[in-house]
A and B are shown apart, each in its own frame.
Chain A
Amino acid sequence: MTVYTFALKRSFRDKTNLLFLMFFPIAAIFLPSQAYWPSMPLGYQYFGVLILFVAIRLTGLLLEDRQKGVVKRVAAAPISHFRYLLENLLAFATIMLGQCVVVIVGGVLYGQELYQPFLLFILYLAFSVTAIALALAWNSFYRSRESSFLIFMSVIILISLLGGLLVPYEMLPEWIQKLSVVLPTYWLYKGIEWIVHGGDAIDFIFINSVLCVYSLLLLIVGSIRRIG
């Protein structure tokens, strides 16, 4: 698990990452609840957006490896590409799992109204994996970490807006509502709505399954890029 350990160390070495990984999730716990919208406390509504930012920051390490030629050296080392990718992704998933635990446990201890904290944790976890896969797929189209991050930043704002994380989904025009069904952020929004309002358990399983299917597809797209 050498790559896994190094991926963890590298992620925490970056000072900006520390802000994303530690300060923002803790700050999210203390954001207040709103009277009309969203139904979840504000920090928990925006946490999905933060997950996307964290995912692109973390997976940027793989792009950096490609930029600096580390991937070529790994190709000559006695480790398979699959193992290299898997250990890196596992490290990122561990960090995001930690964040989800901190946010949920922190919220419960602080006394935020989280309705069903454990299910919310499951939903965040499923979305975190989707976010990592999405960021991996996104990075595979870029050569520079900076360009990838900057453009993805705009994409995050747009998909969060269209997915109903930043404005009430019902206020979006009908044709946008129909289009936004293809966005992972929409499924996070649906999951949060389910947790707040309740419903059939099968619906919640379906929402998480959609996120898992997205993860699988995006992981495939993100992992087939050639080294050269």
Chain B
Amino acid sequence: MNAFYTLRFTALRMMRDYITLLLLLIVPLILVTIFSMVLAGAEQEGMLLLDETSVKMVLLFQLFGGAIVMSYIHLDFFTQMRFRIQALPMNSTMYGFTIMLAGTIYSIVLGLILIVYTSLVFDVEWGSVGWSIFIVSLIALLSINVSLIFTFAVKNFKIAERLSEVYGVGAVVLAGMFFPMPDLALINGINEYLNPLTIAYQSVDAYRLSQMTQAWQSVFTLVSLIVLTFVIMLVVGRRRMP
């Protein structure tokens, strides 16, 4: 049996997971709507605050997109369900990858809905929707890798879940979205080379301003992080996977 055949069922499972849909689609829609109402027309240094905040908010919700993948991997490979999965005539490792693939597509679709909503309803300037989707895909992939590293590296799944939240909230705090961060070389360095939120935003912003070199540099940083985390995920995953 081809593991890709299960993709359809994973997608169905994700679509029926109403709580995740609520957290990753409905809440962002409401928050973006309220912020758009609050910030309508407000400017800072000649730039509409609405553009910056909406783009950052759509990107930040991608940081939590890995939660659904880590939860399915945990359920299917680390609980009683694993005996059923292993008894199936398919490559269970490939099945793990199909869950990752489905999770990435799921995050991208939710991101696309938010991008289209903000640009159509509130005229948020995204530069290019295609480029933004590309960046959303990268940040979604990275978040899934990071979440899976926590799933495999920590024995207690609840702690792994909390760590993935720390990763998301930490990125938001470091990006200065809750309150301005101090101008320290360490924090600036993290935001430039490690914080997926600021790197992704830099890329969208640079594309918007037609600074293609800067836009591609950020993409290169994101891709490097994805490759690095993927390798770490594979190494820790091979040790833990049944």
Contact = CB atoms under 8 A, between A and B. Distances in A.
Interface of A: 15-16, 19, 31-32, 34, 42, 46, 147, 150-151, 153-154, 157-158, 161-162, 167, 171-173, 176
B126 to A, nearest CB: 23
A161 B179 contact: no
B227 interface: no
A154 B22 contact: yes
A172 B27 contact: no
B70 to A, nearest CB: 14
B184 interface: no
A50 B233 CA distance: 33
A161 B23 contact: no
Contacts of A16: 158-159, 162
15 contacts: A16-B158, A34-B179, A147-B19, A150-B19, A153-B23, A154-B22, A154-B23, A157-B27, A157-B31, A158-B31, A161-B34, A162-B34, A171-B39, A172-B34, A173-B37
Given A157-B31, A158-B31, 17 more contacts: A15-B159, A16-B158, A31-B179, A32-B179, A34-B180, A42-B179, A150-B23, A153-B23, A154-B22, A154-B26, A158-B27, A161-B34, A167-B35, A171-B38, A171-B39, A172-B34, A173-B38
Interface residues of B, number: 18
Contacts of B31: 157-158, 161
A176 B179 contact: no
B30 interface: yes
A151 B34 contact: no
Nearest to B158: A16
B38 A151 contact: no
Nearest to B159: A15
B34 A176 contact: yes
Q: What secondary structure prevails in chain A residues at the interface with B?
A: helix
Contacts of B23: 150-151, 153-154
B22 A151 contact: yes
A153 B27 CA distance: 10
B38 A172 contact: yes
A176 B31 CA distance: 13
Contacts of B34: 161-162, 172, 176
A94 B39 CA distance: 40
Interface in B35-73: 35, 37-39
Contacts of A154: 22-23, 26-27
Contacts of A32: 179
A224 B31 CA distance: 33
Interface string B149-163: 000000000110010
Interface of B: 19, 22-23, 26-27, 30-31, 34-35, 37-39, 158-159, 162, 178-180
A100 B181 CA distance: 25
B166 to A, nearest CB: 9
Nearest to A38: B179
Contacts of A31: 179
Nearest to A146: B19
B148 to A, nearest CB: 20
A126 B22 CA distance: 30
Contacts of B162: 16, 19
Contact of A151 (B19, B35, B37, B159): B19
B24 to A, nearest CB: 10
Contacts of B39: 171
Of B39, B178, B179, most buried by chain A (CB within 10 Å of CB) is B179
Contacts of A42: 178-179
Contacts of A161: 31, 34
A172 B179 contact: no
A19 to B, nearest CB: 8
Contacts of A162: 34
Nearest to B39: A171
A34 B180 CA distance: 9
Contacts of A19: 162
Contacts of A158: 27, 30-31
Contacts of B38: 167, 171-173
Nearest to A42: B179
Contacts of A167: 35, 38
Contacts of A34: 179-180
A172 B37 contact: yes
